[in-house]
């Protein structure tokens, strides 16, 4: 005859199983949230660096585009591990301006999503643009000169 497990053992078993399942779900959710948050932070740093570079693009007297890469734009992309930063700045389609010409060229720049209403951008905190103003992009194709 088989001995029945005590109530204490059955209760302990089911509590351990349910705790393990809940712990595994919590771990998976925490990992997913951490990856999502790190991607958002990286995207914002890249957008800020691209905006800092885009603000320094000027049209020379001969009609060509020139850019002076600000140190802060490259500094935003580095980390304590002394990362190397590779960049490429293109003007009108196909016109290389500065950076590493061997880097691949994006065929089409995806539109930037509008800023979240809960986290206003620095530009919207300092001055309110007109409500009919188009959103500002960090990277957009330049018009042909």
| Residue 125 CA from chain centroid, whole number | 20
* Residue 16, pLDDT score: 97
Domains: count for the chain: 1
Overall size of the chain counted in residues: 145
C-alpha 98: how far from its chain's center? 22
Residue 130 placed within a domain: no
**What long-range pairs does 68-72 form, CB within 8 A, spacing at least 24?**
69/98, 69/99
What is the per-residue pLDDT for 111? 63
In a domain, 94, yes or no: yes
In a domain, 40, yes or no: yes
Question: Would you state the pLDDT for residue 22?
Answer: 98
Please tell me the predicted confidence (pLDDT) of residue 80.
67
- What are the two backbone dihedrals, phi and then psi, of residue 129, each rounded to the nearest 5 degrees? -75, 160
- Asked whether residue 29 is domain-assigned, the answer is yes
Mind listing the pLDDT tens digit for each residue in 44-69? 988 898 898 888 888 889 888 888 88
pLDDT of residue 88: 83
pLDDT at 140: 45
Domain that residue 95 falls in: 7-110
Cite the beta strand spans of the chain per DSSP E. Answer: 57-59, 65-67, 88-90, 96-99
Q: Give domain status of residue 119, yes or no.
A: no
- Please report whether residue 64 resides in a domain: yes
Nearest Cα neighbor of 137 from 104, 116, 115, 119 is: 115
pLDDT at 78: 78
Q: Which residues of the chain have pLDDT under 50?
A: 120-130, 133-145
Domain assignment of residue 75, yes or no: yes
Separation between Cα atoms, residue 22 and residue 105, nearest integer Å: 46
Please list the residues that pair with 82 across neighbouring strands: none
Within a domain: residue 125?
no
């Amino acid at each position: 005859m088989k001995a029945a497990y005590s109530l204490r053992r059955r209760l302990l078993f089911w509590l351990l199983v349910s705790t393990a399942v809940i712990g595994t779900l919590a771990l998976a959710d925490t990992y997913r949230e951490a990856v999502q948050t790190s991607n958002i932070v990286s995207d914002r740093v890249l957008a800020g660096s691209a905006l800092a570079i885009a603000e320094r693009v000027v049209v020379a007297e001969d009609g060509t585009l020139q850019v002076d890469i600000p140190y802060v734009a490259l500094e935003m992309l580095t980390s304590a591990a002394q990362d190397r930063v590779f960049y490429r700045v293109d003007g009108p389609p196909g016109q290389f301006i500065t950076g590493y010409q061997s880097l691949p060229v994006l065929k089409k720049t995806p539109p930037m999503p509008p800023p979240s209403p809960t986290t206003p951008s620095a530009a919207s905190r300092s001055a309110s643009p007109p409500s009919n103003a188009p959103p500002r992009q960090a990277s957009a194709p330049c018009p042909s000169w």
